[in-house]
Amino acid sequence: MDVVQAIKERRSINFFDPARAVPDEKLRELFEIANLSPSSFNLQPWRVVAVRDTERKKVLRKCAFDQPKAEEASVVLIMVADPNGVEENIGRMLDSWVSLGYMKPEMRQTYEGMASGLYGSKDSLKRKIFAVKNTSLFAMNLMLAAKGLGLETHPMDGFDEDCIKKEFNIPEDKIIPMLVAVGYLRPGVNLLPRAFRRGIDEFLKFDRY
Ligand SMILES: Cc1cc2nc3c(=O)[nH]c(=O)nc-3n(C[C@H](O)[C@H](O)[C@H](O)COP(=O)(O)O)c2cc1C
């Protein structure tokens, strides 16, 4: 499936087949593809908790305001945005840029300074926005990759973040931009037509806001 078709055919699926599991290999392939997502300074500040266990999904459903898909999908991904992604990944990232010839070794310090300038200090709002925007791009890529692999998805932000953090041991400083349910459509379910989209002229302006 090409990318345009994947975008056109992706839908947020409410009715997952609880009896059909996503094979491990396919799940790994999904992550390998999503892992190619772009990110600020290539810093990749996301983590994912993939919830597959039946009992753990029940807990997740409780935290997600009892949304059935949080339990019925084969796997539900807790997308975790990590504001510490800058410090954690900048060293390896710059190593790769140096070794692949993207930059000269003497530029390392300048680049490190640029990254901390752009993305703020650890606790800043700037840093939280950095983590959330990159994790959200990762999640979108993952949803499109899933479609290409024959899987269905559903993003969710209807959940109690504190409940998920507590139940899944996610440290306080992390942010959870969304959950993504992944699985197969329940047999016999017909989707309603895709809902309203604004005309593009409503949000698209050229050259001035
Ligand atoms: C970040 C995000 C959070 C969402 N949260 C929920 C949710 O908690 N529950 C839900 O039923 N749908 C949720 N949705 C799905 C939207 O309602 C859906 O994307 C929208 O209606 C458009 O439908 P489509 O995805 O099938 O094109 C969410 C979508 C996004 C992108």
Sheet holding 46-51, edge to edge: 46-51, 75-81, 175-183, 152-156
Spatial contact of 115 and 43, defined as CB atoms under 8 Å apart: yes
Quick one: angle between helices 125-148 and 85-99, nearest 10?
70
The single-letter DSSP state of residue 2 is -
In the prediction, which pLDDT does 154 show?
98
The single-letter code of the amino acid at 94 is: L
Burial of 125 by CB count in 10 Å (0-12 exposed, 13-18 middle, 19+ buried)?
exposed
Tokens 């949080």 — which residue?
A: 70
- Measured by CA distance, the residue closest to atom 5 of ligand 1 is 156
In the prediction, which pLDDT does 82 show?
98
Top-confidence residue, 112 or 58: 58
Residue 196 Cα to ligand 1 middle (Å) = 13
- Nearest atom (ligand 1) to Cα of 158: 8
Pocket-testing residue among 10, 11, 12, 133, ligand 1, by greatest number of atoms within 8 A of Cβ: 12
Residue 116 confidence class, pLDDT cut points 50, 70, 90 = confident
Pocket-testing residue among 76, 133, 143, 156, ligand 1, by greatest number of atoms within 8 A of Cβ: 156
In the prediction, which pLDDT does 1 show?
87
The single-letter DSSP state of residue 84 is T
Give me the numbers of helices (H) and strands (E) for the chain, helices first please. Answer: 8, 4
Average pLDDT, whole number, for the chain?
Answer: 96
Cβ neighbours of residue 67 closer than 8 Å, sequence gap 6 or more:
61, 156, 158, 159
Q: What is the DSSP string of 142-187?
A: HHHHHHHTT-EEEEE--S-HHHHHHHTT--TT-EEEEEEEEE-BPT
Question: Cβ < 6 Å from ligand 1: which residues?
Answer: 11-12, 67, 155-158, 178, 194-195
Q: Residue 46 CB: number of other CB atoms within 10 A?
A: 24
Q: Residue 193 CB: number of other CB atoms within 10 A?
A: 5
How do residues 17-43 score in pLDDT, each as one tens digit?
A: 999 999 999 999 999 999 999 999 999
